[in-house]
Amino acid sequence: MTGSLGQALQALRDASGLLMVSVVGADGLVVEAAADPGVDVESLSAMAVSGLLMMDALGQELEEGSARQAILEYGESVVILTPLDDDLLLVTVARGDFNLGRMRLIIRRFVDQISSAVAAI
């Protein structure tokens, strides 16, 4: 992990017990990540970009613009996709029993710090 972006992602992960948090570019490449051992950060982050494209297409169809956030619930995991800007996505993964409201609140607390760290790169 490098610099303040890595520190911000690790702080988010430490504050919430997330399995994974990453910043990924629109090209699917991971800018920075913090994750539990064994989590395939590269694959999950690349797949999340498809989610971002879907979010943008739905927003255009609804004439609403870009989505603020997408929540995907699976049996054992919860994924939240949060666009940071037009080219970057914050991907967070937690256990399926994680409180969604708490997860969204924690992300909201850290998103400005993460965005500032990205801008400094």
Tokens 């051992």, residue located: 37
CATH code assigned at 88: 3.30.450.30
Query: Which residues form the domain of 43?
Result: 3-119
pLDDT tens per residue, range 110-120: 999 999 999 98
pTM of the model: 0.91
| Sheet containing 30-35, strands listed edge to edge, beginning at the edge strand earlier in sequence | 30-35, 20-25, 88-95, 77-83, 70-73
pLDDT tens per residue, range 35-53: 999 999 999 999 998 888 8
Number of domains in the chain: 1
